[in-house]
A and B are shown apart, each in its own frame.
Chain A
Amino acid sequence: MGYTPCQFLLMDKQQSPPLLDTRRQLQMARSMCWHCQSEVTGEYFCDRCVKVQPVSKETDYFTCLGFPRRLMLDPQKLETKFYELSRTFHPDFYQTKSADEQTISLSNAAVLNTAYRTLRDPIQRAEYLLALETGSVKDIRTSPPADLFEEILELQDTLEEYRASDRASDHGHQLRATLQTEQEALERRKEGMESQLRQLFTDWDQLQDAGEATSLTRVERDRILKQMRDLLSHRTYINNIVNDLAAAIV
């Protein structure tokens, strides 16, 4: 590709991020237009030559869609923004443009799709935020939930017994009833976790909105991220077994 990659900014200017990390500062740094080499201060296009600018690989999905790093996003607003940007980058509008511009618009559209798909789902959004905030998921060590594993393994055993059993027999009926009860209990637990997660999402957003970076807020930040990590992974385990149960006892 014959252009110098340059930064692409979709930062909402009113919403200056409270905790400036170096990565974001980098994103906010002024960059050069790949075409005319003038400074790009606008959003998706160069002010001078009006060429479309590529979304940088460093740009996170929140920035890409013009949202701050918050967890309670209005799905309606997200969708509106996504449609707006989809039109902006739609390859159809670049048919008559240069090959470089076609490539850029296409790759921008691809990034945009991934960004939207990730942020639209609250769970994926939280997983993504965790990855952003902690580097990688593994950076936060979580203690493996041994009790939960034990429970899951036991349930899977019962499930296997049920699969192998004669479903019409008394034993089969009994197993089915047990599994059904377990499934309902697990669904309730999952819901409980999801409401806990929603609380953490709100906590996170409040902390970000407050914007002070004191040692106290750092402790609070770590608490939220750690609890979120634990809840998200426990929820995944429970989700899996619930799905297995649901598939077996339809």
Chain B
Amino acid sequence: MAYSDKVVDHFNNPRNMGSFKKDDADVGTGMVGAPECGDVMKLQIKVQNDTIVDAKFKTFGCGSAIASSSLATEWLKGKTIEEAQKIKNTDIVQELNLPPVKIHCSVLAEDAIKAALADYQKKTDGQPTGTK
């Protein structure tokens, strides 16, 4: 099985790799894993006025998992929280041409987005500013 050009491109030049400070009030962190293959993904968003101004990821897993999360961070930037909720794993599958055996990688990326958004919302709901 060969990876699509887009997967290879994201794998060789991952966008937005890195991390933010987890405890910052404007940062949402999603950490997810795929129990089947043991891939681990961390995806973070930085939010200002309901808009995602920056996103970063760190993924330890296969090429498709890296590409899925790299693409996810690209898509997240500039979106509002509400728009971000709408990103579906099927969009990622389509964009990256993922084969059926790699669909779980895109699911992982969607889960990571959801987890990051939920983490951010949890932070803002209770405590508008400051502490963790």
Which A positions have Cβ atoms within 8 angstroms of B? Answer: 137, 142, 144-146, 149-150, 152-153, 156, 229, 232-233, 236-237, 239-241, 244
Q: Which residues of A contact B38 (CB under 8 A)?
A: 233, 236-237, 239-240
CB-CB contacts below 8 Å: B29-52 with A: 31-33, 35-40, 42
A240: chain B residues at CB < 8 Å are 38-40, 60
A166–B58 Cα gap in the complex (Å)? 23
A150-B31, A153-B60, A233-B36 known, 4 other contacts, Cβ within 8 Å: A149-B33, A233-B38, A236-B36, A237-B38
The complex places the Cα of A229 from the Cα of B36 at a distance, in Å, of 10
Known contacts A156-B60, A240-B60; is A149 also within 8 Å of B35 by CB? no
Q: Nearest CB to that of A237 among chain B residues?
A: B38
Flag if B60 contacts A146 (CB, 8 Å).
Answer: no
Decide: A149 near B37, CB < 8 A? Known: A156-B60, A240-B60.
Answer: no
Residues of chain A with a CB closer than 8 A to B36's CB:
137, 233, 236
What separation, in Å, do the CA atoms of A239 and B38 have in the docked complex? 8
Beta-carbon contact of A137 and B35 below 8 Å? yes
Known: A149-B40, A149-B42, A153-B42. A233 touches B31 (CB 8 A): no
16 CB < 8 A contacts A-B: A137-B36, A152-B60, A153-B31, A153-B40, A153-B42, A156-B60, A232-B35, A233-B36, A233-B38, A236-B35, A236-B37, A236-B38, A237-B38, A237-B40, A240-B39, A240-B40
**When A149-B40, A149-B42, A239-B38 are in contact, do A233 and B60 touch as well, CB less than 8 Å?**
no
Q: Is the interface of A mostly helix, strand, loop or mixed?
A: helix
**In contact, A146 and B35 (Cβ under 8 angstroms):** no
Q: In the docked arrangement, what's the CA distance between A137 and B34, Å?
A: 11
Give every chain B residue within 8 A of A232 (Cβ-Cβ).
Answer: 35
Q: How far is the CB of B51 from chain A (nearest CB, A)?
A: 26
Question: What is the CB-to-nearest-CB distance from A214 to chain B, in angstroms, rounded to a whole number?
Answer: 30
CB distance from A114 to the nearest CB of B (A): 16
Residue of A nearest to B104 (CB): A138
Contact partners of B35 in chain A: CB under 8 A:
137, 142, 229, 232-233, 236-237
| Bound CA span A149–B119, Å | 15
Q: Which residue of B lies closest to A155 (CB)?
A: B60
5 smallest CB-CB distances across A and B, nearest first, come from A233-B35, A236-B38, A240-B38, A149-B31, A237-B38
Closest to A153 in B: B42
Closest to A240 in B: B38
Q: Hey, which chain A residues are within 8 Å of B39, CB to CB? A: 240
- Cα A214 to Cα B35 in complex, Å, equals 31
Identify the closest chain A residue to B107 (Cβ): A138
Are B40 and A233 in contact, with the CB atoms below 8 A? no
Closest to B41 in A: A149
* Distance of A235 from chain B, by nearest CB (Å): 9
In the complex, chain A residues whose CB is within 8 Å of the CB of B37? 236
Distance from A218 Cβ to chain B, minimum over Cβ atoms (Å):
24
CB within 8 Å for A237 and B33 given contacts A152-B60, A153-B58, A156-B60: yes
Give the contacting residue for B40; candidates A137, A152, A229; CB below 8 A. Answer: A152
Docked complex Cα distance between A150 and B22 (Å): 11
Q: How far is the CA of A138 from the CA of B38 in the complex (A)?
A: 14
The smallest beta-carbon distance between B132 and chain A, in angstroms, is 14
Q: Which of B33, B42, B58 contacts A233 (CB 8 A)?
A: B33
A144 and B33: CB pair below 8 A?
yes
